[in-house]
Amino acid sequence: MAVESKTENSLDPSSRGVPVNGSVLAQITPTWERPASFMLQNGLQVVVIPDHRTPVVTEMIWYKLGSADETPGKSGLAHFLEHLMFKGTEKHPIGEFSQTVRRVGGNENASTSLDYTNYYQRVPREQLPTMMEFEADRMTGLILKDENVLPERDVVLEEYNMRVANSPDARLNEQIMAALYLNHPYGRLAIGWHQEIEKLNREDALAFYRRFYAPNNAILVIAGDVEAADVRPLVERNFGPIPAQPAIPAQRIRPQEPEPAAPRTVTLSDPRVEQPSLQRYYLVPSATTAAAGESAALDVLAQLMGSGNNSYLYRALVVDKPLAVSASAGYSSISLDPTQFAVAASPRPGVSFADVEQVIDGVIADIVQDPICAEDLERVKTQLIAEAIYAQDNQAVLARLYGGALTTGLSIEDIRSWPDRIRAVTAEQVRAAAQKWLEKKRSVTGYLIKDTTPAKRKEKRS
């Protein structure tokens, strides 16, 4: 999802279970001014990130509610409700919020992931009071009518067709996630299952809205040309009168995965596949669930194995052999519950998946058995920390990264200390992480192949 574009129906990239090279936390560095944070009596957490380079402000509200929190049998409900949140309130009819954002030269967006739903506006700083009034109003004032709800359900179904049904890569990912998570709701994509989406209705959406949309289940992040002392009265005036929802538990409790016992494989064949590919996902701890030092070691391991032309997988599969046209690795650290470490490769014509897997297994075995080159270790740590510097150029990115981390159980100090934890990672920690977590029994390997079965000819009518 592009943060600067206006789409009312977006899914966060992480919601599809695709790990990104490097950690989301790589985008944060403690050289940035420390955000201010305070909490209202109704439980709303507020984070203010000053950025005075331009007279612009980003307001982003995060609900601790993602697809993994949905009622069983109603998958896609969190994303469906995200769409419906643009359908207006009694005070502000449908379209008024978005029209106001456009009129002042701003932009807006929203996204749903496995763990959260967020909404944001980026506008001139003098427009912040207006935006905050709109956002506070729709926290409790949403009005839904069937003439708006049912057509929007069709929009979501079409989005499923575009994002998943018509994308062989996405369909493979859907199947890998379902196989990786035997018990946890991460096993279904944030957009949901088609047959359940088509049954969602107005009552489902309103019940979900009333259950989860409340100040004590939200984090408000304000980034831009503001100071906390000026923001706090605005927040108290707009959000302060909204009552907390006492039924919302302090901690989200979900079904958890059993200890993996055996490797699994899935194969998806599709006539539209032009480039076969292999993806292997390992079940690993997230930044929230990992023991001290483990998540940072997995960050470094992913960078070392599969980020860039100097990475171990790329050199082994693309440069040295060559057996593949591409090779990569990634670790999705930002997750409330156990997450994924992925490796991927696309074999050259005539090269078997078995040959590619043999090399992947060899790279992992080398990391486990042989000392990691000190030069390589320092190179990848420098790369990760450099990403943190570059991210400071976009206040909306900073707001997104703080919100995503905070809604999945991390603290502001966890976020700011991430570069120090990367610097402290040792070669032994990386080796131990590979040995412990990149075990075959913890994995699902997916194969994407071209379906060459001749299409059935239509029978001629007599």
Q: Of how many residues is the chain composed?
A: 462
Question: Can you give the residue range of the structural domain that contains 218?
Answer: 36-240
CATH of the domain at 435: 3.30.830.10
How far apart, in whole angstroms, are the C-alpha atoms of residue 277 and residue 445?
A: 11
Residue 228 CB neighbour total at 10 angstroms: 17
Question: H or E element: which one contains 434?
Answer: helix 427-437
The number of angstroms, rounded, from the C-alpha of 82 to the middle of its chain's C-alpha atoms is: 15
- Answer whether residue 386 is part of any domain: yes
**235 plus 271 within the same structural domain:** no
Nearest Cα to 66, choosing from 415, 410, 408?
408
Q: Are 288 and 116 in contact (CB under 8 A)?
A: no
195 domain-assigned: yes
Instruction: Give residue 12's pLDDT.
Output: 62
Number of domains in the chain: 2
Cα(139)–Cα(351) distance, integer angstroms: 54
Task: From the candidates 82, 152, 174, 387, give the one annotated as an active-site residue.
Answer: 82
- Asked whether residue 245 is domain-assigned, the answer is no
Residue 283 falls inside a structural domain? yes
Same domain, 139 and 198: yes
Dist. CA 49–CA 222, nearest whole Å: 6
Q: What is the pLDDT of residues 239-292, one digit of tens each?
A: 999 999 999 999 999 999 999 999 999 999 999 999 999 999 999 999 999 999
Q: Are 339 and 284 in contact (CB under 8 A)?
A: yes
User: Which of 240, 273, 296 marks a domain boundary?
Assistant: 240
Q: Is residue 82 annotated as part of the catalytic site, yes or no? A: yes
Same domain, 199 and 273: no
Q: Which of 240, 256, 286 is the last residue of a domain?
A: 240
Rounded Cα–Cα distance for residues 256 and 186 (Å): 10
- Asked whether residue 191 falls in the same domain as residue 54, the answer is yes
Q: What is the pLDDT of residues 45-75, one digit of tens each?
A: 999 999 999 999 999 999 999 999 999 999 9
The pLDDT score that the predictor gives to residue 22 is 43
Do 227 and 325 belong to one domain? no
Whether residues 188 and 325 fall in one domain: no
| Residues 100 and 206 placed together within one structural domain of the fold | yes
Same domain, 396 and 302: yes
State residue 32's pLDDT score: 60
Residue 443 — φ and ψ, nearest 5°?
-120, 160
Point out the domain boundary residue: 186, 208, 240. 240
Is residue 77 included in any domain, yes or no? yes
User: In this structure, is residue 54 part of a structural domain?
Assistant: yes
Decide if 306 is inside a domain: yes
Residue spans of the chain under pLDDT 50:
1-9, 13-14, 16-22, 29-31, 457-462
What pLDDT, on the 0 to 100 scale, is given for residue 27?
52
Residues 162 and 297 in one domain: no
Same domain, 221 and 270: no
Q: Show the tokens assigned to 31.
A: 């050289």
The answer for 88, left when phi > 0, alpha when psi is -120 to 50, beta otherwise, is left
pLDDT score of 24: 52
Tens digits of per-residue pLDDT, 171-199? Answer: 999 999 999 999 999 999 999 999 999 99
Domain shared by 70 and 146, yes or no: yes
In terms of domains, do 412 and 310 share one? yes
Residues 416/30, Cβ–Cβ less than 8 Å: yes
